[in-house]
């Protein structure tokens, strides 16, 4: 009987430790996160639709940080900011975003919005993760210099 109680307690303890430090957009099954799936799909297939999905996922991740730390994962602000600053991202979003995806953003001027938001995201990455300043500051200076 003691063995069963000990076994049940051990199983309960091990299964309750499933929380993650960061929110990665939810799970997609087989242990992968939504971030992993969409990032891979975007870089593997590179369709305008996959780019729109990835932009919306990033927006969800930075707008609703979760996990036990309650902050956005390292590198996500930088990835998102850099993606928003690419002209192809704006073009793809304007031409291929669904109505639901467009509603995630308050403005209809996606060019101006993405440019402003991209810079904000890079600055936020440096603020939250100071070790990234060495890499992002020169990039941001070049972007602002244009």
Q: Is residue 111 part of a domain?
A: yes
Q: Is residue 24 part of a domain?
A: no
- Per-residue pLDDT of 39-69, as tens digits, reads 998 888 889 999 999 999 999 999 999 889 8
Q: How far apart are CA 61 and CA 136, in angstroms?
A: 20
Name the domain count of the chain: 1
Predicted confidence at residue 123, as pLDDT, reads 96
Spell out where 27-145 has E strands. Answer: 27-29, 32-33
Q: Is residue 19 part of a domain?
A: no
Whether 12 shows a pLDDT value over 50: the answer reads no
Q: Is residue 140 part of a domain?
A: yes
Predicted confidence at residue 6, as pLDDT, reads 53
List for the chain the helix, strand, coil content (%; round to 5).
70, 5, 25
Predicted confidence at residue 16, as pLDDT, reads 46
pTM of the model: 0.83
How far does Cα 31 stand from its chain's mean position? 18
| Residue range(s) defining the domain that contains residue 102 | 35-145
Residues 6+ apart with CB under 8 A from 56: 101, 104
**DSSP 8-class letter at 17:** -
Q: Is residue 57 part of a domain?
A: yes
Q: How far apart are CA 95 and CA 103, in angstroms?
A: 15
Q: How far apart are CA 135 and CA 129, in angstroms?
A: 11
Q: Is residue 28 part of a domain?
A: no
Q: Is residue 75 part of a domain?
A: yes
Q: Is residue 12 part of a domain?
A: no
For residues 53 and 97, the answer to whether their CB atoms sit within 8 Å is: no
């Amino acid at each position: 009987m003691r063995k069963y109680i000990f076994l049940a307690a051990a199983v309960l303890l091990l299964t309750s430790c499933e929380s993650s430090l960061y929110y990665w957009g939810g799970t997609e099954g087989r242990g992968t996160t939504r971030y992993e799936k969409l990032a891979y799909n975007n870089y593997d297939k590179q369709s305008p639709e996959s780019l729109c999905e990835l932009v919306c996922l990033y927006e969800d991740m930075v707008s609703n940080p979760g996990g036990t730390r309650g902050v956005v994962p390292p590198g996500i602000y930088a990835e998102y900011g850099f993606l928003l600053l690419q002209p192809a991202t704006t073009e793809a979003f304007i031409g291929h975003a669904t109505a639901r995806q467009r509603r995630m953003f308050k403005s209809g001027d996606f060019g101006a919005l993405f440019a402003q938001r991209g810079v904000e995201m890079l600055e936020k990455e440096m603020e939250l993760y100071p070790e990234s300043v060495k890499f992002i500051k020169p990039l941001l200076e070049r972007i602002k210099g244009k």
